[in-house]
Structure 1
């Protein structure tokens, strides 16, 4: 069995897959509100909430490990960890002391993700010291981007430090690319595709022949379109004014653009799209937040259609992309010049195919599954290691 760990700043998602001809999901769940009052541990597909003592990250990890060891039918043979940013480390890797040391050295480049992810890795190494564990990097999928798409317009000395556009949500995009081929065939999967992973964290990717050509996020996951509490791209001059006006330290500025901005910053009340849609009719700022989100996603779709020389398929995924017909409709409105035309009934039903039959662009809704992708990567790596180990 393969255990997958997907840690966020206030949550830990996990899943357990049984290896066979195909990967079979046995369990999955999530610990939410870590570090906040009322931390919960929920098993998906069940009404069971597991009781945990404490509410910090260490307590959450201890609670999960305790449950894993007390559940009799779970026998873990490998563990896969999602790691958002690894700088020069981009390919899936066996976790070693050398890798952990390298990840700790680059914490200043990703202070919002790496500290928690490293804590998770070290905790599971402590509890499962004899089990092979792997880091699956969110940046790996985008290594096929052409050099021009990776460049940042800053002095070259920064590029020599490894500062360039990496792109994120790679595990999701790899899953969506594979799933599109299963649903629509190889020809569609190798065409000109725009993938829109729209959730609390949101980005888009331009894909051709199954490979990433460009993506909206850049050096960090704070770039690109506005998100739940992340700013997305902002004018560097605005950043300077913000820091100067409020005498912000680098750490404070980082917190501002990652945790106080985006939809939350514009609305002043919530970064949750469902909340904003409920409030928009009577709250001007909520309406502004929704409108900006849809406008920016639409703009990136157009930009990527230009970068790809056209568009054959548009895929929506993520919490918003999979579950919000009204947002999908607003994003696609006016894109008929690209060949994008939605079928209103299909869209309302969250159908797998939501474009009209006459539409020259296929518009699809594909639920993403990062945990499955981690498990698939780990299964492949374990198989490779077993073949090469005498």
Structure 2
């Protein structure tokens, strides 16, 4: 079975074609700046001669972008399949499922309507996700489409973890509550972690997805118990351009002083804050090198991030009543041994002990355990694979039809 995984953004379309027989990526790529100065990137892991690098192409909309993707997949020079008919199903990443979806589902009219109903909760992503689904339906009629929700994994949280202390009517009228994101990543790495622990019946794990967007989840017996992101992906720890959790009273204070509209303030918090707001760049590698050169603001970011990570891991461990394992994943989690080192040092009081030599080696690819045999808490670096998780869900749903 071959599955096309699609992640449609507001002006982008990322894709992977996965052969589920051996779970190998046949091709992957990205259509960027759809509707403006569009570029197309295509990679074939098994044959680099078939790659296309940032080629300027005209793409008026997502349907045009998808047609380019499908044409390339069957192209004599760059393709990996003989016909589009070889694609058995399409799995779509959908940001927000609200309280409607706790798992992945086959797309039908009711599912499309439910995705629309969540537009208010995911105004940037959900309309784009639905556009991607519609484009696939138009170009690939009859091919099963599956929606995999970023929020789905977190639907097992108890009410005392997801409710906010606001007037209850806001929850009833507008669905204001914690939803959490990166669910597909947290599910993938927590499942892998449980396997590495020897598949125990009971487990308490903290998964740290650290990248340009970052979130931390508490996972009890394979199910989400709590997470740091909220109604939107803005809450939680500091990120590349997002401020994370702040005193909510800061919002009206800044709006009044700067004369900002709600939308402008939203842009400040989502696009101009975080690492970028503090030192002018959201690139963690740049921050790391600047910190080594003695840049005070870069050093401040590193200290803030490690402090917040330690605080959330410790807090979740207390809330779960124990901790069996910590997982680091995502671009920063997988590739920054220094952060892992600093955070684990802060957690020594919980019996966390890591092998510094092994930790230093685990970056840009390899994964594994970095804790010592004596550590009371296992610590793992696990490379996330959201696309594979989406493909697995899609395969399972389509095979059950």
> TM-score, normalization: structure 1?
0.91
Higher deviation after alignment, 86-95 or 376-385: 86-95
Q: Which of 47, 51, 63 pairs up with 2:68? A: 63
State the 1:6 CA deviation: 2.3
1:283 corresponds to 2:283? no
Residues 35-91 of structure 1 show CA distances to partners (whole Å, capped at 9, x for unaligned) of 786734131523622534137764644432332343343511110101111213323
Residues 367/250 of structure 1: CA separation in 2 closer, same or farther (3 Å cut): same
Secondary structure of 1:236's aligned partner = coil
Q: Is 2:44 the counterpart of 1:39?
A: no
Classify the secondary structure of the residue corresponding to 1:28: strand
Q: Distance in 1 between matches of 2:60 and 2:339?
A: 35
Structure 2 equivalent of residue 388 of structure 1: none
Measured in 1, the distance between the counterparts of 2:106 and 2:302 equals 41
- Residue aligning to 1:362: 378
Q: Paired residue for 2:29?
A: 29
Instruction: Please state if 1:353 is matched with 2:362.
Output: no
Verify: 1:89 aligned to 2:93, yes or no: no
**TM-score (structure 2 length as normaliser):** 0.89
**Structure-2 residue corresponding to 1:6:** 7
Match in the other structure for 1:165: 178
Name the counterpart of 2:237. Answer: 225
Compare 50-59 and 66-75 and name the one that shifted more. 50-59
Which structure 1 segments of 5+ residues have no match?
386-390
Report the Cα distance in structure 2 between the residues aligned to 1:286 and 1:170, rounded to whole angstroms: 29
Contact kept? 1:95, 1:133, Cα under 8 Å: yes
Residue 233 of structure 2: SS of its match in structure 1? coil
- For residues 1-390 of structure 1, the aligned pairs below 5 Å read 1-9=2-10, 11-20=12-21, 23-31=23-31, 39-43=39-43, 45=45, 46=48, 48-50=51-53, 51-54=55-58, 58=62, 60-70=65-75, 71=79, 72-73=81-82, 75-90=86-101, 91-160=103-172, 161-187=174-200, 190-267=202-279, 269-280=280-291, 281-350=293-362, 351-385=367-401
2: CA distance, partners of 1:177 / 1:35: 38
User: Contact 1:4–1:371 (CA<8 Å) still a contact in 2?
Assistant: yes
State the alpha-carbon separation in 2 of the partners of residues 139 and 25 from structure 1: 25
Most deviating of 313-322 and 255-264: 255-264
Task: Report the 3-state secondary structure (helix = DSSP H, G, I; strand = E; otherwise coil) of the residue aligned with 2:380.
Answer: strand
Helix, strand or coil at the partner of 1:186: coil
1:172 and 1:369 in contact (8 A); partners too: yes
Query: Kindly tell me: are residues 249 and 354 of structure 1, through their superposed partners in 2, closer, same or farther at Cα, counting changes over 3 Å?
Result: same
Q: For the residues of structure 1 that align with 2:351 and 2:12, how far apart are their CA atoms?
A: 39
Could you list the per-position Cα deviations for residues 113-155 of structure 1 after superposition, in whole angstroms to 9, with x for gaps in the alignment? 2232222222112111211101100111111111111111110
**Structure 2 portions without partners, runs of 5+:** none
1: distance between equivalents of 2:74 and 2:44?
Answer: 18
8 Å CA contact retained: 2:5, 2:15 = yes
